Every structure is written in C-alpha cells, then in structure tokens.
Amino acid sequence: MALLRVIMIAEKVSDCPTFSEGEQVTIDYPNVVLEETDNVCISSLEQCHPYILPLSRGVAYATLGIGEELGTLRCCCQLGSVTYSVLKQRRRISITPEILKRLAELKLDLSKLQSMPVFAPLPESSLEKIIPLLQLRQVNTGTDIIQQGDVGEFLYVITKGEVLVLREGGQIREEVLATLSEGECFGEMALISEEPISATIRAKTAVTLLQMSKKDFNQLILENPSLSVYFTKLLTQRLQQANTRMVEMLDKGILGSIETFSIPELVQTLALNGRTGVLVISRKDSKAELHFEKGFIHQVSYGRLRGEKAFYDLIPWQKGQFQFQPAETLNISRQVHKDTMQLLMEGLRRLDEVRSGNS
C-alpha cells in the first residue's frame, strides 16, 4: 500500500482542453481521489505514472530527477501541455480518542482498515465518518450469515476467517461457487440491485466481520464516487464469473433448477456464448424444448405450441428443471426468425405487462 498521497497542481497550462491553472489531481495510489480532484486526463496520468508510483512510496524528488524541494512533472499531447507542481502528503487521518476507542471495539488498527480494498479508495475525511458506522460481528463455523432469497440489509467485510458462497438448486442441493477470505466483502450486490440475495453465505471457519447497514452504505456510495467505481468493477467481475460457471454447467449437461437460473438468464447465456444444442425445460408433466444454433433460437416447442408463442408462454415459469444437450450442429429448419435477444426482450415486455395488470 502507498505511504504517501500525491497531489499534482496545474501551474502552467498551454492550450490544454482539460485543465486550467490551479486545478489539481489527488492520488492515493493506485486510486484517484475523485472527491479531491478537479479534472482527470488519462493521457496525463499515463505519462506521469512512472513518477507517481515511486513518489507515493517515498522516493525523493531529486532521485527521480524532477526537482529538489518541490517536484515538477509535465505532460503534453497534440492538444496542449500542462506543467504540474507535485506535493506529497503522508496518508494519515487525525485519530481522535473516540476513533481510537471505536477501532479497539472493532478489533482493528487503522492500517489494516486502509489496506482493505473496499476502504482503500476512500479519502481520510470519509474514513473518519465511516468508522463509527461499522459494527463488529462474530460468527461460528457452519452458521449461515445471509441466505439465498433474503432481502439485503448489510454490507459485510471479512476481517478474519473464510466463508463459502453457496447456490441452492439443481442436481446437488447446494453448490459451492466460491470461497471468500480476509479483506473481501459480500452482500453489496443485493444492496446495489435491491434484488433478493442470490447466494447463501456460510462461515467455513469462525469468522469476524464488519457490517454496515443498507442506509449507511447508500449514503457512502452517494458521497464517494471513487467507491462507486470500485463496486461497479466488482459487480462486473462477479457477473463474468457467474456467466463462466453457468456456461461450464450447461456445456457439461448438468441438470439445474430454474429457481437458481431463470429461463431469461439461460437464454441470454446460450445466445451470448453462441452455443448449439437443445435446452430442455420440464416441470411436473410438462416439457419444452428450445433448439439453439450458434446462439440463435431456431425452434421452440411446448405442448401443442410452437415458435414464438411457445417461447412467450415459457418466460413466466419460475419452477422446474433444465438441462442443455450440446451438439455440433442440429441440421433443422429455422421456425423462429426473430433475433434471439429481440425475442427475449419481447417476452420480458409481455411479462411486465401481465404483472402490471395483476398489480
């Protein structure tokens, strides 16, 4: 972790469309502190990066050849140029007796808190406000911390121990999706999306957690744009991981539950990954088949229904089993001519209309 904050102040500006004199960029490496930054230029950061990293680690200006008592950096491109004066500040917050007492209650020291990815992007002023909002929670091995389907109420950060991420449904009642350890967080996706929790979190070992309420988390995101960027990246990574797991499961022909992966999710995954084969969906005495060729739906059958009508009748299903049967090619005529994603969007639109009419 960086020891020093780097502040770049524009002193001389020539035809630069981004910066004016006096504007600054504040960096707690590797993060730009958006709350204390006037403007950001990717080209400028790229040019100055070889100096920013060593400066944040305490390397002297003279060692880098950019000055003696005060550093100077310059960036230029075809649009203009900027000369920055560079200041270094120690990354500390004023530790009041109240904050020290609260940290002791949370069984934390300041450096450990600042090293956690969820808190690292935050400026010192924000940390002073956040520490009183955190609550300590001890969990025994085998205890469910949150359960799939619950409403999200807290953001959790692991300070000690490990937890299992479990998804219910399919051939195996519970499938282990991942293991999370010290410094990692969970519960934030349900707070962001306001959707039911998508997986059960169970203590693999005795676990020590920090938790923050939904109300405080939402206020934190609102006041700290840099943290919002962090969670957006985290959400993207987890969606990519979930997509990879689903594709692997489908390719292996594993029997699954549409309570775990909905029909729209299955169709979208097969379409985006260009899969060929037959998706068989069944519930009670009913069975439907969706024939995919390189991600496009060619045929759909459900009872006496065929084509788009059959597809739209399947979208509302919330219970049942599915299994994908991969194939090299199907060699069948195409009865559904609408693009698969258009078909899916139309199905969801009709479903929304039905739900709105029932409400």
- Longest Cα–Cα distance of the chain, Å, equals 83
Q: Same domain for 239 and 270? A: no
Q: Same domain for 117 and 226? A: yes
Which tokens belong to 76?
């230029």
* Tens digit of each residue's pLDDT (9 = 90 or more) over 211-256: 999 998 888 777 777 667 767 776 667 667 667 777 877 888 877 8
The residues, ordered by sequence, that sit 6+ positions from 302 with a Cβ below 8 Å of its Cβ are: 286, 287, 288, 289, 310, 313, 314
Q: Same domain for 349 and 285? A: yes
pLDDT of residue 1: 46
Is 67 inside any structural domain?
yes
Q: Same domain for 137 and 226? A: yes
Q: Give the Cβ contact number of residue 18 at 10 Å.
A: 18
pLDDT of residue 34: 83
Q: Same domain for 105 and 212? A: yes
Domains: count for the chain: 3
Q: Same domain for 217 and 325? A: no
Q: Same domain for 221 and 265? A: no
Domain boundary among 90, 110, 140: 90
Is 46 inside any structural domain?
yes
pLDDT cut 70: percent of the chain above it: 89
Is 123 inside any structural domain?
yes
Residue type for position 1: M
Q: Same domain for 232 and 106? A: yes
Q: Same domain for 105 and 238? A: yes
Domain boundary among 184, 210, 243: 243
Q: How far apart are CA 25 and CA 40, in angstroms?
A: 7
Q: How far apart are CA 266 and CA 280, in angstroms?
A: 11
Burial 99-130 (b: 16+ CB within 10 A, else e): beebbeebebebeebbebebbbbbbbebebeb
CATH of the domain at 207: 2.60.120.10
Is 248 inside any structural domain?
no
Q: How far apart are CA 107 and CA 168, in angstroms?
A: 34
pLDDT of residue 334: 87
Q: pTM (2 decimals)?
A: 0.53
Low-confidence ranges of the chain (pLDDT < 50): 1, 170-171
Structural domain boundaries enclosing 235: 97-243
Q: Same domain for 287 and 337? A: yes
pLDDT of residue 91: 64
Residue type for position 89: Q
Q: Same domain for 226 and 124? A: yes
The residues, ordered by sequence, that sit 6+ positions from 304 with a Cβ below 8 Å of its Cβ are: none
pLDDT of residue 191: 82
Is 83 inside any structural domain?
yes
Tell me which H or E stretch contains 8. strand 4-14
Domain boundary among 49, 73, 90: 90
Is 277 inside any structural domain?
yes
Is 332 inside any structural domain?
yes
Q: Same domain for 74 and 132? A: no
Q: How far apart are CA 280 and CA 301, in angstroms?
A: 10
Is 198 inside any structural domain?
yes
Q: What is the mean pLDDT of the chain?
A: 84
